[in-house]
Structures are given as structure tokens and as C-alpha cells.
């Protein structure tokens, strides 16, 4: 994993596993969390083979325990997804019964609500693998911060991915509202107000929207990495917070630096 900021120190020097250059498209955390809300005792791996008969015993690989291992697993899942070779892992009756009493996900994915970008699908992961938090435009608020912090601080998750995507409607709404001076309906304006600091004024038209998608990922990632409890985990090498982007046109996830 190539690292370029303090937010990525936890993953070491391995080549970054996300896909290469993307296509040129147009386009404080409080620790007052309920420790009894969820449990995290059992380990779930990410290498379960493709669908098995209901009578087969579940097979699990080791749960990714470092940021680099978690990134590698997500990258492998995305490769399966875009090659139409999904495994849909961790869905057997045995695993469902195990998950009734414990969970041990290996990554938090903060993504957009867009119906075309469900993290469990684009990374080809199964039950118990990912803790997903989704808001329009990956917008942060206290509930989102608390949810991410829960995964990291209480469940020991080593990786947080901020996942933007091509043709984000929330980003477009924020860009167009700023350009026109139009005020959006109350709750949508809340989203636009939080995306607007990321608007890339060096571009015009669709290129501004596209550039702002990446800039917004960077902004959200930097805000998360600045949270003291999360920053301490990054410094210790136990956590990486990375930015990524999903391309609707070819289903590739790539790194946003």
C-alpha cells in the first residue's frame, strides 16, 4: 500500500491493492458509546469459497487483522465483482447461526446512500465482514462519527474506507446549488452545506462535479483522521483511514489520494 499521509501509516509499504488509474470520467468523536450495543468475539475470515450446500461445514480463513490485510481483501473482492465472479461469501446456515451471538468485521466502509454502490456487493463481502455507514455524499455528523468510532474502538477494526463514487447526486446538488444560489429543501441543504467546502472551483461543469467527488472524499477522510481517538490508533499502526472511489462505468474501486 502506498502511503501519502498520516492517515495511511497503518498499512506499511505494501503496494496499494486498489485498482490503478481510474477512467477519465466527466463527471470530538465521543467515547460515550454503549459498549453493550454490539459484541465482537468471533473471528470471521474473508476467504470463504463460493456457495456451498446447506449441509457443508463452513470454511473460514483468518480475519484480516492489519490495515494492509484488510485492504488486500477488499481489493480481491472488487476484482471478483468487476469480473462477474462474485462468491457472495459467509451466507451459509452455520455462519448465520454463529453471527447470532458475535461479530468481528474487518473494515468500516463509510459510503454514499446511492443504490448503485452497496459496499458488500462492490467488495464481494458477506455477513459479518463489513460495518457499513451510509449517508448522502458520505456526510459526517455526530451519529456517523460515533458509528465509525464504535467499529474502530470497540470492535478493533483496523481499516476505515471513505468510499465516494462517480456521478454522485449529492455532490452534484451541492455544486449546482452553489452555482445557482438556489436554496435546497431544508434537510438536503444540510448535506450541501457540508459538501460545499470540498467544491473544486478550478473546474467547470461536469468536471467540477467529478473533481468535487474526489475532494469530498479527501475532506471526509481528513476529518476522521483528525479525531483524537482515531488518530491515536493511526499513530500506533493499528488503523488506516483511506479514501477510495467507485466507478459506475467499469465497477472499479481505486485509491483517492
Residues facing residue 240 across a β-bridge: 159
Q: How far is CA 123 from the centre of its chain?
A: 10
- Distance of alpha carbon 117 from alpha carbon 168, whole angstroms: 10
Which pLDDT score, from 0 to 100, does residue 62 have? 83
Rounded to whole angstroms, the Cα distance separating 134 from 140 reads 10
% of the chain exceeding 90 in pLDDT = 75
Across 63-82, average pLDDT: 97
| Residue-wise pLDDT tens digits, 119-144 | 999 999 999 999 999 999 999 999 99
Cβ burial, residue 238 (10 Å; 0-12/13-18/19+):
middle
pTM of this structure: 0.79
Amino acid at each position: 500500500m502506498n502511503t501519502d499521509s498520516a492517515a495511511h501509516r497503518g498499512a506499511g509499504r505494501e503496494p496499494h491493492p486498489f485498482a490503478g488509474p481510474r477512467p477519465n470520467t466527466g463527471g470530538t468523536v465521543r467515547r460515550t458509546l454503549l459498549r453493550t450495543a454490539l459484541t465482537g468475539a468471533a473471528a470471521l475470515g474473508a476467504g470463504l469459497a463460493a456457495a456451498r450446500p446447506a449441509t457443508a461445514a463452513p470454511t473460514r480463513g483468518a480475519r484480516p487483522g492489519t490495515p494492509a490485510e484488510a485492504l488486500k481483501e477488499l481489493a480481491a473482492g472488487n476484482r471478483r465483482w468487476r469480473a462477474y465472479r462474485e462468491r457472495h461469501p459467509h451466507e451459509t446456515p452455520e455462519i448465520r447461526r454463529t453471527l447470532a451471538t458475535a461479530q468481528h468485521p474487518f473494515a468500516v466502509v463509510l459510503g454514499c446512500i446511492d443504490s448503485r454502490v452497496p459496499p458488500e456487493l462492490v467488495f464481494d463481502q458477506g455477513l459479518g465482514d463489513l460495518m457499513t455507514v451510509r449517508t448522502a455524499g458520505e456526510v459526517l455528523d455526530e451519529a456517523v462519527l460515533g458509528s465509525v468510532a464504535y467499529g474502530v474502538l470497540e470492535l478493533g477494526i483496523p481499516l476505515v474506507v471513505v468510499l465516494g463514487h462517480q456521478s454522485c447526486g449529492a455532490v452534484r446538488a451541492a455544486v449546482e446549488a452553489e452555482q445557482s444560489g438556489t436554496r435546497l429543501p431544508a434537510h438536503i441543504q444540510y448535506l450541501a452545506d457540508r459538501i460545499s467546502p470540498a467544491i473544486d472551483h478550478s473546474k467547470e461543469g461536469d468536471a467540477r462535479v467529478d473533481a468535487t467527488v474526489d475532494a469530498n472524499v479527501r475532506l471526509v477522510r481528513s476529518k476522521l483522521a483528525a479525531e483524537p481517538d482515531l488518530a491515536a490508533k493511526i499513530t500506533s499502526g493499528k488503523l488506516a483511514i483511506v479514501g477510495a472511489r467507485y466507478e459506475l462505468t467499469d465497477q472499479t474501486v481505486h485509491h483517492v489520494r
